[in-house]
């Protein structure tokens, strides 16, 4: 009855915990030989923190993450264009969290090892491809420890192996590389003094030219009063085409010139970037929405199913919603305890019907980057700043900003 989950990232580990919670045995295969706290900041929206709380992780998250209280758009001079309360401040039952991806993965990993077993996930197991067999789904796996190819089968295979998914490639062999729209992204974390509420996400500029996003990811301010600030710099180039290399080391000299003189929320952007020990560079990529994720006993979850631009803080949250829906689909099916009694292809079809349309809708809304049209207007109409945003935008244009957020941050 074991379900094989390919990938021990945010989606795969949450799926493991969710399936375990409804009595479904799992095995997680992770390609890396050692799970290290990689990445920088990630956001969890209230619909995702609700599920992590159901899984008993609410306290660990509250102790580790920042409960985001507002998102605010500023122009490059720091003038406020639009703000929206977030999480509990917006009336949700659960917080929105800003958290270091490594901290989040560690919380999930600790819970997986405690509940499922210390050997989960199986590390150094790179899945090459998968196929449906009569009563099983089978993965071909490169075991990096023994340098051998093994076959590992389960009653189902869940491809939670991220944007470069081998499982997706098996199902859609002609799809090719992720799609790049021309925005280069640099990311990093640096210690800096808290700004605004101390739990604010600040977005300055727009993807039309250059945009800077920053938010704190660890609550404990150091003795010097500083906390760990995550930042993302996004710059549009006019030469799309092949995406730059993924996850390479970024250079200060590439980022800083785009943000000279920017001081949103009183933060010296060039100083923040210069204080960053390790700058990462990623292209902003996604893939076209798929018409189908589930094929017999094989399905996709998280970025493998619906990679999206990081526009509405929703990529990790959508993976967590997938995990919950998958477990609900297993829990809803008649089960006599005999493995053969479960119609797994129907379970995976049910999971797909719960999630595919809404996840694809979020990915499509993110691609449009709708708030950018309005932010571009601000830059054009008030190139030297403004006193009141109502002097620059009409009420309808301000309302459009809120509407675009509702599309990209929905559950
Ligand atoms: C190293 C890394 C750093 C990231 N940093 C950030 C960040 O700073 N901020 C942010 O918002 N998002 C980040 N992301 C993306 C973010 O985690 C996802 O968008 C989101 O959480 C959805 O998670 P996922 O589990 O679907 O995919 P991912 O988090 O990408 O996890 C996929 C997992 O599958 C494993 N894997 C891949 N191929 C195979 C294979 N063939 N066989 C077995 N295992 C495989 C990967 O090693 C990884 O552990 C990062 C992802 C990774 C992998």
- Ligand 1, atom 24, lies closest to the CA of 11
* Per-residue pLDDT, 82: 87
Cβ of 29 less than 6 Å from ligand 1: yes
Of the residues 4, 5, 10, which should be mutated to test ligand 1's pocket, given the most ligand atoms within 8 Å of the CB? 10
The domains spanning 1-35+121-175+288-368 and 39-116+180-286+370-411 adopt the same CATH topology:
no
CATH code, 39-116+180-286+370-411: 3.30.9.30
- Ligand 1, atom 11, lies closest to the CA of 42
* Per-residue pLDDT, 239: 67
Look up residue 36 and give its DSSP letter.
Answer: -
| Cα–Cα distance measured from residue 362 to residue 348, given in angstroms and rounded to the nearest whole number | 21
* Per-residue pLDDT, 88: 92
Q: Would you give per-residue pLDDT tens digits along the chain (411 residues)?
A: 899 999 999 999 999 999 999 999 999 999 999 988 777 899 999 999 999 999 999 999 999 999 999 999 998 788 899 898 999 998 999 999 999 999 999 999 999 999 999 999 999 999 999 999 988 999 999 999 999 999 999 999 999 999 999 999 999 999 999 998 888 899 999 999 889 999 999 999 877 778 999 999 987 666 678 889 999 999 988 766 666 666 678 899 999 999 998 999 999 999 999 999 999 998 889 999 999 999 999 999 999 999 999 887 889 999 999 999 999 999 998 776 665 678 999 999 999 999 999 999 999 988 876 677 778 888 889 888 888 889 888 888 888 777 766 666 666
Of the residues 162, 170, 218, 286, which should be mutated to test ligand 1's pocket, given the most ligand atoms within 8 Å of the CB? 162
How far, in Å, from the CA of 285 to the mean position of ligand 1? 14
* Per-residue pLDDT, 373: 76
Digit-coded pLDDT (tens) for 363-397: 998 887 667 777 888 888 988 888 888 988 888 88
- Ligand 1, atom 19, lies closest to the CA of 315
**What DSSP string describes 213-272?**
EEEE------TTS-EEEEEEEEEE-S--SSPPPTTEEP-HHHHGGGGTT--GGG--HHHH
CATH code, 1-35+121-175+288-368: 3.50.50.60
Token digits for 323? 């995990």
* Per-residue pLDDT, 340: 67
How far, in Å, from the CA of 162 to the mean position of ligand 1? 5
Is 23 in a helix, a strand, or coil? coil
| Cα–Cα distance measured from residue 310 to residue 14, given in angstroms and rounded to the nearest whole number | 20
How far, in Å, from the CA of 103 to the mean position of ligand 1? 14
Please, are residues 254 and 241 in contact by the beta-carbon 8 Å criterion? no
Cβ of 30 less than 6 Å from ligand 1: yes
How far, in Å, from the CA of 94 to the mean position of ligand 1? 24
Question: What are the structural domain ranges in the chain?
Answer: 1-35+121-175+288-368, 39-116+180-286+370-411
pTM of the model: 0.94
Cβ of 319 less than 6 Å from ligand 1: yes
């Amino acid at each position: 009855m074991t379900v094989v989950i390919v990938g021990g990232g945010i989606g795969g580990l949450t799926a493991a915990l969710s399936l375990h919670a409804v009595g479904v045995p799992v095995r997680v295969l992770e390609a890396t030989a050692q799970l290290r706290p990689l990445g920088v900041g990630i956001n969890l929206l209230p619909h995702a923190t609700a599920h992590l709380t159901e899984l008993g992780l609410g306290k660990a998250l509250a102790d580790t993450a920042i409960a985001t209280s507002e998102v605010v758009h500023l122009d490059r001079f720091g003038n406020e264009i639009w703000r929206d309360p977030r999480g509990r401040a917006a009336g949700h039952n659960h917080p929105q969290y800003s958290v270091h991806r490594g901290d989040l993965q560690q919380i999930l990993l600790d819970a997986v090892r405690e509940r499922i077993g210390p050997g989960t996930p199986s590390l150094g197991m790179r899945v090459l491809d998968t196929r449906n067999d009569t009563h099983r789904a089978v993965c071909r796996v490169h075991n990096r420890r023994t340098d051998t190819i093994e076959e590992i089968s389960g009653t189902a295979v869940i491809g939670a192996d991220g944007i470069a998914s081998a499982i997706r490639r098996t199902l859609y062999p002609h799809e090719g590389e992720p799609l790049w729209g021309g925005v280069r992204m640099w990311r990093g974390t640096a210690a800096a003094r808290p700004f605004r509420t101390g739990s604010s996400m600040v977005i300055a500029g727009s993807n039309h030219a250059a945009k800077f996003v920053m938010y704190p990811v660890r609550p404990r301010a150091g003795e010097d009063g500083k906390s760990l600030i995550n930042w993302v710099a996004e710059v549009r180039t006019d030469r799309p085409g092949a995406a730059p290399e993924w996850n390479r080391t970024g250079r200060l000299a590439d980022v800083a010139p785009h943000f000279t003189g920017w001081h949103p929320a009183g933060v010296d952007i060039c100083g923040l970037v210069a204080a960053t020990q390790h700058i990462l560079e990623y292209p902003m990529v996604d893939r076209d929405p798929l018409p189908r994720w589930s094929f017999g006993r094989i399905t996709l979850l998280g970025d493998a199913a619906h990679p999206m631009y990081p526009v509405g803080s929703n990529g990790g949250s959508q993976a967590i919603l997938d995990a919950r829906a998958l477990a609900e689909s297993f829990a809803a099916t008649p089960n006599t305890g005999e493995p053969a009694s479960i119609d797994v292809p129907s379970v995976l079809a049910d999971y797909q019907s719960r999630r595919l349309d809404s996840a694809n809708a979020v990915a499509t809304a993110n691609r449009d980057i709708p708030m950018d049209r309005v932010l571009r207007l601000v830059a054009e109409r008030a190139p030297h700043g403004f006193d009141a945003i109502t002097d620059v935008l009409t009420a309808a244009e301000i309302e459009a900003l809120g509407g675009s957020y509702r599309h990209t941050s929905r559950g």
